[in-house]
Structure 1
Amino acid sequence: MLVVLSCVILAEMAWTIYLGAQLPRTYIAEHWDVAWVGLDLAEIAMLAGTAWAAWAAWKRRAILVGFAVAAATLLVVDGWFDLTTARSGDFRQSLVVALLVELPGAIAMLWIAQRGVRRVVHDVVNLEATSLLKLPLHPPER
């Protein structure tokens, strides 16, 4: 697995360098509206999935971790593209929305995901984890 991930990382690095050198500074995009609406619909779906998994279901679901991480990722991506594609006159508004809505929303989603992982670890695996970075993928042999 480490070899495959290393190869993917190296390929992505090479692709990023290539794009950095080859992409034009400006570009007229077709279906701009579809791209943005699609991103926002994906965010709504992940936020709704998180809400369903956390509260709306008759029993809380561990899948909320996946929904919350995906929602956090999409919120950060949304903020990034808002900032990097904003015209000079729209940059301030994009920055405010990124700092007051998208980044705090992403942090909240990651906090929810972290709590979900801790609950699963505590209730299902019966481990006390002080840090997600120290949490093993497999429980220790007993």
Structure 2
Amino acid sequence: MTVRTMPRPRPRTSWAPKVLGAVAVGLVPWVFVLGRSLPETTQVRHWPAAWIGLDLTVALGCATTSRLFHRGDDRARLSASAVAALMVMDAWFDVLTAQAGTELTQAIACAVPELALAGLCTWVALRNAERES
């Protein structure tokens, strides 16, 4: 007769959630400081490089997620989560930095597929997580 033993629970790192919680609490007053101190407008150096870098990072994340997911590698959920976050951030900044009028309309139109990709990546991340449990 074989005796089945329960797997040992992983040891929990107790300091990590405490640090994350403290950062979350600390960011609340910081947001108010930023709201009062940041200028309404600003000029940005290397604007094209910032957006090109973001889009290349998204492309690399999509390629990585695709490859990992195709191979059945559970790490696909990690890259999918990162791409989802990047796409939400991309849509947010596209819309909020656009000039009123045609530029804003274009930014909103671009936000739709960006947020759809974020949704797809979230689905990939959650789908893989559900299969593990």
Hey, what's the Cα distance between the residues in 1 that align with 2:39 and 2:24?
24
1:37 corresponds to: 52
Instruction: Give the alignment partner of residue 108 of structure 1, picking from 112, 115, 120.
Output: 120
Q: Which runs of 5+ in 1 are unaligned?
A: 122-142
1:54 corresponds to: 69
What displacement does 1:37 show? Answer: 0.8
Instruction: Give the alignment partner of residue 13 of structure 1, picking from 28, 45, 62.
Output: 28
Letter matched to residue 67 of structure 2? W
Hey, what's the Cα distance between the residues in 1 that align with 2:115 and 2:53?
19
Kindly provide the CA deviation profile for residues 50-71 of structure 1, in whole angstroms up to 9, marking residues without a partner as x. Answer: 101011xxx4100000010101
Q: Structure 2 matches for 1:1-142, cutoff 5 A?
A: 1=15, 2-55=17-70, 59-89=71-101, 90-99=103-112, 101-121=113-133
Q: Secondary structure at the match of 1:88?
A: coil
C-alpha RMSD over aligned residues: 1.1
Hey, what's the Cα distance between the residues in 1 that align with 2:56 and 2:29?
31
What displacement does 1:97 show? Answer: 1.2
Q: Which of the pair has more CA radius of gyration?
A: 2
Identity of aligned residues (%): 34
What displacement does 1:118 show? Answer: 1.2
Q: Secondary structure at the match of 2:72?
A: coil
Hey, what's the Cα distance between the residues in 2 that align with 1:18 and 1:11?
11
TM-score (norm. length: structure 1): 0.78
What displacement does 1:6 show? Answer: 2.3
Q: Secondary structure at the match of 1:118?
A: helix
Aligned residues: 117
Higher RCO (C-alpha 8 Å, min separation 6) = 2
What displacement does 1:3 show? Answer: 2.9
TM-score (norm. length: structure 2): 0.83
Letter matched to residue 54 of structure 2? L
Letter matched to residue 104 of structure 1? A
The runs of at least 4 aligned residues of structure 1 exceeding 4 Å deviation read none
2:5 corresponds to: none
